Amino acid sequence: MEFPRSRSESVQFILNAARLRAGNKALKVERVRSCVAYRLHSVEVGVSKVPVTPNKPVFLAGLGYGRLSEGVHDDLYARSFVLCEGSKTVALVGVDSIGVMLNHVAPLKERLSAKGIALFLCSTHDHSSPDTIGLWGPEPGVSGFDEEYMELLLSGVEEAVEKALEEVKKTTLELGSTALPCGAAKNTRKTDLLDREISYMVARSGGRALGTLVNFGLHPEVLWRDNRLVTADFVHYLCLELERELGGIAVFLNGALGGMVTPDVSSHTFEEAERVGRTIARAILNSASRTRPRVEAACELALASKLVELPVHNTLLTEAARAGIVKREVGDPPTLETEVSVLELRPFARLAALPGEPLPDVGLRVKEMLGAPYRLLTSLCNDEIGYIIGRDEWDPSRYEESMSPGPLTCEILLSALSEILQLLQRT
């Protein structure tokens, strides 16, 4: 499948990824033009959300040990955006979770696959959600993983997919892009590098919005170590605002959030989480209201995935897995099996799904590889392997490297991505 690539074919597309790398040097993304460039029809969409809020105290993930929850500020959700075209059905699910590893996702993927449904389960990487990895228990060396909660979460994901399928309707998909507003995000590892692209899809039927799919990279960690309340962080307010103004259900899929793309806040409060979420929502709403699609086409879905083996050079990860702290097996020698996937919404859009947290420069490389005029990158998809760091950026003294399988991870994943794209190009 040959995607339109020239500006005359694809309108003034937003990212200009080929120009974002001069030699091997990634450049700061400062300005992104707002546009709603494409409309796809001949596709059916169903959207739903199901709460996956814990029903008992749990250890909260991501910001240190001993954060036992003391209540719920707002519900966590599994939000499902299901696409149907011909014999193909794809469920894009955003779940308010720090991450769900492949060994837990795989049985659900198999059950849905038997029904003809391809699952893209993408965790938001919420840092005030239950510890679904095991690293953030009561103290070092003690797992915080809760099997009962994992069952609740996966059951909620499955229910969200089933409910979305019940709501499937003929729709038009409006594909748009705009920029993360200033004051919403910053990169604390590499301050001059930030991909500000927000990609979104609005599914409409009978003149009303069924749902909005949103994709950009940002850690949901406005709330910090002293917070003991379960919350979806800024994602709660982002989705709330979009649902209130557009109608339907909003689904957030995180992007290249690693390295460390974090909220640009003055304090770690719910007020700041609300400001960040609503500010981003308003940017999307303004973009969607100002412009209209210039190019229309019938939508055809295509997808492919590839399992890969990653060598694990991180001895802490290996020891944690073998001690049962992290609920995942590693091989001998240490390896992790994971997967890379691509979804095409032909003729305009490609979505790449990576299993961990790519740094922004990796995300820009991926978008350049995708080659389509409309490009999305989802992270923590069907797995959470940690940070995905380019080999030329690898620095063992940095925090992100201590939470990554190793220096070969990025190149192995991008090689798999290249193989998938070549396969899809031939079909």
DSSP conformation letters of 147-203: HHHHHHHHHHHHHHHHHHHHT-EEEEEEEEEEEPPTTSEEESSSTT----EEEEEEE
Largest CA distance in the chain: 58
Our CA dihedral for 198, 282, 287, 160, rounded to 10 degrees, sits at 60
DSSP conformation letters of 33-73: --EEEEEEEEEEEEEEEEE---SS--BBPSS-S--B--EES
Q: Is 100 contained in some domain?
A: yes
Write the CA distances from 310 to 135, 181, 369, integer angstroms. Answer: 20, 36, 21
Q: Is 362 contained in some domain?
A: no
Q: Is 422 contained in some domain?
A: no
Specify the amino acid at residue 186. Answer: K
Burial degree of 413 (CB within 10 A; 0-12, 13-18, 19+):
buried
Write the CA distances from 116 to 44, 112, 164, 170, integer angstroms. Answer: 15, 6, 14, 19
Q: Is 220 contained in some domain?
A: yes
Q: Is 346 contained in some domain?
A: no
Q: pLDDT tens string for the chain (427 positions)?
A: 554 443 333 333 323 333 333 333 333 443 444 455 789 999 999 999 999 999 999 999 999 999 999 999 999 999 999 999 999 999 999 999 999 999 999 999 999 999 999 999 999 999 999 999 999 999 999 999 999 999 999 999 999 999 999 999 999 999 999 999 999 999 999 998 999 999 999 999 998 999 999 999 999 999 999 999 999 999 999 999 999 999 999 999 999 999 899 999 999 999 999 999 999 999 999 999 886 777 889 999 999 999 999 999 999 999 999 999 999 989 889 999 999 999 999 999 999 999 999 999 999 999 999 999 899 999 999 999 999 999 999 999 999 999 999 999 999 999 999 999 999 999 8
Our CA dihedral for 241, 246, 249, 250, rounded to 10 degrees, sits at -60
The answer to whether 380 and 213 are in contact (CB under 8 A) is no
Report pLDDT for 11: 31
Distance CA 268, CA 274 (A): 11
* Neighbouring residues of 84: CB distance < 8 A, sequence distance ≥ 6: 43, 44, 45, 46, 90, 168
Domain count, the chain: 1
Q: Is 265 contained in some domain?
A: yes
- Name the residue with tokens 């009303």: 208
- Up-side HSE of residue 148: CA atoms within 13 Å toward CB? 7
- Name the residue with tokens 């659900």: 108
pTM value is 0.92
Quick one: which of 283, 255, 99 has its CA closest to 184? Answer: 283
Report pLDDT for 290: 83
Distance CA 248, CA 239 (A): 10
* Tokens coding 334: 């240490």
The answer to whether 304 and 261 are in contact (CB under 8 A) is no
Quick one: which of 169, 140, 117, 189 has its CA closest to 320? Answer: 140
Report pLDDT for 236: 99
Domain that holds residue 128: 7-297
Report pLDDT for 35: 56
Report pLDDT for 75: 99
* Phi, psi angle pair for 363, to nearest 5°: -60, -40
Quick one: which of 338, 365, 334, 361 has its CA closest to 352? Answer: 365
Quick one: which of 357, 341, 370 has its CA closest to 218? Answer: 357
* Neighbouring residues of 155: CB distance < 8 A, sequence distance ≥ 6: none
Q: Is 321 contained in some domain?
A: no
Report pLDDT for 294: 76
Quick one: which of 159, 162, 199 has its CA closest to 77? Answer: 159
Q: Is 102 contained in some domain?
A: yes
Distance CA 278, CA 258 (A): 22
* Neighbouring residues of 148: CB distance < 8 A, sequence distance ≥ 6: none
Report pLDDT for 424: 97
